[in-house]
Amino acid sequence: MKQELKIQKGNVLIGKPNILGDSTFNRAVILIVDYNNDGVVGFIINKPTTENLNELIPEIEKDFKIFDGGPVEKDKLYFIHSRPDLITGGINISDNLFWGGNYKNVISLINSSKIKVNEIKFFLGYSGWADIQLREEIKNQVWLLQEKIDPEELINCDKPSFWNEKVKSIGGEFLIWSNAPDNFNYN
């Protein structure tokens, strides 16, 4: 009997190399922050943008990277963090990992150095699916579904090579993914 696919908050999706030129999801690692019968919301955690937080919010005095969270609502800023003791109003994703909270509080905490780069991560946009759509994509191995990854590791990964590290750690038949060239025309 085949076990039913269990998707939940805190899971991570690892995208296979894309030969169709989809730069958004190609080699993406996505943290699922919300899951219910209506759909799935996640953030791409391994694709930094060229923008910094203080460029978008001038009252912030520190330099924080911003990541491409996905193709939906790219004009909106989101964040995950590991400081529920300081940031009120966040939604629990998994062990010591939260989504959102009081923005004004965050600005004050950043400017007073009470919250650090390794405790919060910002995204422009998010990734979203209908439940049935994501299940079908996982079944067709567009995504590998991983159980929870250490929250600190999710917040601190700041480069596209994180995808390669995750694929290699899975191993087995998926090791071939880690050897796929960025541009399939070079193959």
pLDDT higher than threshold 80 for residue 162: yes
What CA–CA distance (Å, rounded) separates 142 from 27?
A: 10
Q: What is the DSSP string of 65-115?
A: EEEE--SEEEEEEEEEES-TTTSTTPEEEETTEEE---HHHHHHHHHTTSS
What percentage of the chain carries pLDDT values higher than 90?
A: 59
Average pLDDT, rounded, for the chain = 87
- Give the global pTM: 0.88
Residue 20's pLDDT is what?
A: 56
Residue 173's pLDDT is what?
A: 67
Burial classification of residue 52, based on how many CB atoms lie within 10 Å of its CB (0-12 exposed, 13-18 middle, 19 or more buried): middle
The set of long-range contacts for 3-7, using a CB threshold of 8 Å and a minimum separation of 24, is: 5/135, 5/138, 5/139, 5/145, 7/32, 7/35, 7/40, 7/131, 7/134, 7/135, 7/138, 7/145
Residue 180's pLDDT is what?
A: 60
pLDDT higher than threshold 90 for residue 43: yes
What CA–CA distance (Å, rounded) separates 181 from 187?
A: 7
pLDDT higher than threshold 70 for residue 49: yes
What percentage of the chain carries pLDDT values higher than 70?
A: 87
Phi, psi of 169 (to 5 degrees): -70, -25
Q: Does 81 or 167 have the greater pLDDT score?
A: 81
Residue 1's pLDDT is what?
A: 39
DSSP state, residue 10: T
Residue 158's pLDDT is what?
A: 81
Cα 35–Cα 20–Cα 36 angle in degrees, nearest 5: 5
pLDDT tens for 92-108 read 999 889 999 999 999 99
Q: What's the rounded mean pLDDT across residues 27-43?
A: 93
pLDDT higher than threshold 80 for residue 176: no
> Which pLDDT band, with edges at 50, 70 and 90, does 127 fall under?
very high
DSSP state, residue 58: T
Domains of the chain: 12-182 (3.40.1740.10)
Q: What's the rounded mean pLDDT across residues 118-142?
A: 94
Residue 83's pLDDT is what?
A: 96
pLDDT higher than threshold 90 for residue 179: no
Tokens of 55: 């460029």
